[in-house]
């Protein structure tokens, strides 16, 4: 298996292998790599030297591998979301199992001839590493898992983009930017480009630019709101709520996000009391671990009983709202005022 960074370097040197498996959750980087492979391959004529395979026609894969790319040296085949490499449950699909075995045998027996005529790229959301087909692709070609990027990896990518446009950004500002905009690669690349355009070549992105121009994730705004609650700043807490409503965030979504946030703070309290690992207690993904200190800081604003009461108040509000006994905005404002007093 190869890392995303090493695969990017390999493609930058314009080197194409004959067999790839790209899979994982970070779809933006995966699709970027796929576009790069297509670009390096050159002219694509669908049905001639460019074939798309999916779960509906994956039984034609071997036939397509054997069919010449008339008038072209090689053929590019993208086998996307075929389900061939997906981990199966107890009830296995016998037709899929048989097809997987045929493809596996074909690749092993014909890899040398395929190298001269085909570039085959499997693209899957998930892949079972214990499957024989996975092992074969890993041995004969290139496999790359696209995990969500960790904050430090994202910071390096954003720093590289800024540098390419000759724009400066301090490490602390970059860290704050990721806290505000999240770790979704597509979203944050759009946001960093917006900031780059704003400051211009030779400029520097400041924290106030991030506050002024970026679209903050709801989760980030909830952190701001909770900070205000913990500091007993009722005016600011209500203003944050009003800003969310003005930005057309659904009130029900705000309620659910607020509830989930306070539930995490409560879990942090329990984890600290019983000396448990906070990352596993909150079930944080690798790209979310940078939030641990923020959760710990905010949990210290409240006593354990206070957090339980907030959670109960939010549950009661949800019930009363659904029964038509209270306006949701009024209910949320009431809870904020209660816990700021």
Cα diameter, the chain: 77
- Please give the Cα distance from 337 to 331 (Å, whole number): 10
251-273 helix and 218-230 helix, angle to the nearest 10 degrees = 60
Confidence (pLDDT) at 340 = 67
State yes or no: pLDDT of 89 exceeds 90. Answer: no
Confidence (pLDDT) at 165 = 93
Reported as a single tens digit per residue, the pLDDT across 155-183 is 899 999 999 999 999 999 998 898 888 88
Confidence (pLDDT) at 85 = 87
- How many DSSP H helices and E strands does the chain contain? 16, 7
Q: What percent of the chain has pLDDT over 70?
A: 99
Each domain of the chain, given as residue ranges in start order, spans 4-146, 151-213, 218-340
Question: What Å distances lie between residue 207 and 169, 171, 175, 214, 288, CA to CA?
Answer: 9, 11, 10, 10, 21
Q: Which residues of 6-19 are buried (b: 16+ CB within 10 A; e: fewer)?
A: ebeeebeeeebbbb
The CATH class that applies to domain 151-213 reads mainly alpha
Reported as a single tens digit per residue, the pLDDT across 187-237 is 889 999 999 999 999 999 999 999 889 888 888 888 888 888 888 888 888
Regarding pTM above 0.75, the answer is no
Average pLDDT over residues 270-285: 88
CATH (one of 3.40.50.1100, 1.10.390.10, 1.20.200.10, 1.20.272.10) for 218-340:
1.20.272.10
- Burial grade of 123 (CB within 10 A; 0-12, 13-18, 19 or more): buried
Work out whether the CA dihedral 280, 285, 291, 295 comes out positive or negative: negative
Average pLDDT over residues 19-34: 92
Work out whether the CA dihedral 40, 45, 50, 51 comes out positive or negative: positive
State yes or no: pLDDT of 287 exceeds 80. Answer: no
Confidence (pLDDT) at 341 = 60
Confidence (pLDDT) at 220 = 82
Reported as a single tens digit per residue, the pLDDT across 51-74 is 999 888 888 998 988 888 878 889
Confidence (pLDDT) at 134 = 92
The arrangement of secondary structure in 4-146, i.e. its CATH architecture, is 3-Layer(aba) Sandwich (3.40)
Question: What Å distances lie between residue 235 and 239, 258, 298, CA to CA?
Answer: 6, 18, 18
What is the pLDDT of the chain when averaged over all its residues? 89
**pLDDT band for position 93 (cuts 50, 70, 90):** confident
Confidence (pLDDT) at 1 = 87
């Amino acid at each position: 298996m190869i890392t995303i960074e090493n695969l990017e370097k390999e493609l930058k040197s314009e080197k194409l292998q004959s067999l790839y498996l790209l899979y994982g959750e970070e779809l933006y980087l995966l699709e970027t790599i796929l576009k790069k492979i297509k670009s390096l391959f050159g002219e694509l004529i669908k049905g001639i030297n460019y074939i798309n395979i999916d779960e509906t026609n994956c039984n034609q894969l071997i036939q397509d591998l054997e069919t010449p790319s008339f008038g072209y040296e090689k053929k590019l085949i993208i086998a996307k979301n075929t389900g061939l490499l997906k981990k199966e449950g107890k009830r296995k699909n016998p037709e899929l199992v048989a097809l997987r075995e045929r493809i596996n045998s074909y690749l092993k027996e014909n890899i040398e001839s395929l190298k001269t005529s085909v570039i085959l790229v499997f693209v899957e959301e998930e892949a079972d590493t214990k499957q024989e087909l996975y092992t074969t692709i890993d041995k004969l070609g290139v496999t790359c898992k696209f995990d969500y990027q960790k904050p430090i990896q994202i910071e390096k990518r954003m720093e590289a983009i800024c540098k390419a446009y000759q724009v400066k950004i301090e490490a602390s500002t970059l860290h704050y930017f990721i806290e505000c905009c999240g770790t979704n690669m597509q979203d944050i690349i759009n946001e960093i480009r917006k900031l780059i355009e704003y400051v211009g070549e030779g400029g520097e992105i400041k924290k106030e630019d991030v506050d002024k121009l970026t679209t903050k994730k709801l989760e980030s705004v909830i952190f701001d709101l909770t900070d205000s609650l913990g500091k007993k700043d009722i005016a600011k807490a209500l203003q944050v709520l009003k800003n969310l409503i003005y930005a057309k965030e659904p009130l029900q979504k705000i309620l659910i996000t607020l509830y989930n946030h306070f539930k995490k703070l409560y879990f942090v309290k329990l984890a600290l009391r019983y000396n448990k690992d906070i990352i596993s207690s909150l079930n944080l993904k690798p790209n979310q671990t940078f939030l641990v200190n923020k959760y710990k800081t905010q949990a210290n604003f409240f006593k354990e009983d206070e957090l339980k009461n907030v959670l109960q108040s939010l549950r009661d509000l949800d019930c009363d709202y659904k029964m038509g006994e209270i306006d949701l905005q009024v209910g949320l404002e009431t809870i904020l005022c209660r816990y700021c007093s």
